[in-house]
Amino acid sequence: MKRLILFAVVALALAVGLLVAGSYGFGPVVITREGEQKIILTLGNPRTVTQPGISFRLPLIEAVRSYERRLLYLNAPPNAIQTRDQEGLVVDNYVAWRIADPVQFFSSFPAGRSQAEPQIDQVVRAAVREVVGQHTLADVLTGKRSEIMQVITDKTNKALGKFGIELEDVRINRTELPKGTEENVYARMKAERERQARKFRAEGGERARRIRAEADREARVIVAGARRDSEIARGEGDAQAARIYAEAYATDPKLYAFVRSLEAYRKTLGQGTTLVLSPKSEFFRYLDRPAPEGQ
């Protein structure tokens, strides 16, 4: 019984030891963690382990290489580029990449990431320089920036795919103008904005003149129409008044003459009015003597 217990303890200790040794890359047990992938080399012939778990190897015969499965990031140093419109630009970008084929990666870069990252940086810098150089400064700083970065990502993916590397994304951290260029760019931008302002003011002035001319024309048409209508109404009123006077005169000429005379007296013989007329004047015939009968 004691021997059985001792054997179990020794077996358990051996298993634990093998697991601990496997976690550090020693012994026959190979432990692959989440986010990790391994290559087991048998006399130079590789086999891959990409799923988490436990696998085995032959100690001293098979070697193990471990690589990340997760995304890796590489910050590139600033890159001085000249755009299509001959503007100098300093671009600072980063790369998100992963090891897609660990066997091909190991074959291309036996030293691992320390050997791969300079190659990635070189390819990406060349692609950034080429693609950005085909666009203007305005394209890089404004609307076409995402499109430009997608073209760079596709181009570098094609170049690095043969090394077992897959680029997830290439992005620009920041873009800056070289020292001494900012003033020139600012001056050009200011001149362009002033040109646009003059253009907008000229277009606005022309539109205002057109609106004022249209308003003046409409006003003249309205005033002319109102005057026409007033003249028509005045003429109709005068005609109606003449008709009424004519009808009144035809009905009783003596009464009409008397009323007209009274109206003339009221308009002419006011306070302070002086008239020099003959007393026999026809104007005073209703004031000087009574009218004979029958008249």
Question: pLDDT grade, residue 176 (50/70/90)?
Answer: confident
Find residue 174's DSSP bridge partners.
92
Helix (H) or strand (E) holding 268, with range, is: helix 253-268
Please say whether the dihedral angle defined by the alpha carbons of residues 70, 71, 76 and 81, taken in this order, is positive or negative: positive
- Among the residue ranges 58-67, 88-97, 232-241, the one predicted with the least confidence is 58-67
- pLDDT value of position 57: 55
Q: Which residues contact 125 (CB under 8 A, 6 or more apart)?
A: 76, 79
Q: How far apart are CA 55 and CA 265, in angstroms?
A: 138
Q: pTM of the prediction?
A: 0.51
- pLDDT value of position 58: 56
Residues of the chain with CATH 3.30.479.30: 72-178
Q: What is the pLDDT of residues 1-48, one digit of tens each?
A: 656 565 554 555 554 444 444 444 555 666 667 778 877 777 667 777
End-to-end CA distance of the chain: 173
CATH H-level superfamily of 72-178:
Band 7 domain (3.30.479.30)
- pLDDT value of position 19: 47
Tell me which of 280 and 132 has the higher pLDDT: 132
Nearest to 17 by CA among 6, 32, 34, 29: 29
- Among the residue ranges 43-52, 56-65, 68-77, 171-180, the one predicted with the least confidence is 56-65
Tell me which of 240 and 2 has the higher pLDDT: 240
Nearest to 118 by CA among 151, 160, 157: 160
pLDDT over threshold 60, residue 68: yes
